[in-house]
Amino acid sequence: MTLTIADVDHVASLARLGLTPEEREQMREQLSTILEHIALLNELDTEAIPPTAQVIALTNVMRDDEVRPSLPVEAVLANAPRRSGDYFEVHTPLGGDEELP
């Protein structure tokens, strides 16, 4: 599996990951090599095999629906790079130069 720079750019865009031109080329080479090793899986016929999502026997773990104390607002906002009152502050998500999904 050989990736193109366009593949790298598409995936980086999905991951919201800014890459330098050098990183893009290195990523293209290294991911292509890793995907070649991963292609080993194609020699197995897994048509009838169910996928494993998790390995333990627990399913549908529920808890009582009770109101409990949560972290104080000040503690949660203490690490915020930008805050506005009791809120995290961000750029406008839509409009401006943002592309719509």
Q: Is 75 in the site for another protein (CB under 8 A)?
A: yes
Q: Is 21 in the site for another protein (CB under 8 A)?
A: no
Q: Is 23 in the site for another protein (CB under 8 A)?
A: yes
* Residue matched to tokens 């290195």: 26
Measured from the CB of residue 67, what is the shortest distance to another protein in angstroms? 15
Q: Is 80 in the site for another protein (CB under 8 A)?
A: yes
Residue 7 · residue 29 · CB < 8 Å = no
Which residues lie below 8 Å from residue 6, measured CB to CB, with a gap of 6+? Answer: none
If binding means CB under 8 A, how many residues of this protein chain bind another protein?
55
Three-state DSSP at 87 gives strand
For CA atoms 52, 56, 60, 63, give the dihedral sign.
Answer: negative
Q: Is 86 in the site for another protein (CB under 8 A)?
A: no
Per the document, the length of the chain is 101
User: By the criterion CB under 8 A, which residues form the site for another protein?
Assistant: 7-8, 10-12, 14-20, 23, 27, 30-31, 33-34, 37-42, 44, 46, 49-56, 58, 61, 63, 71-72, 75-76, 78-82, 88, 90-93, 96-99
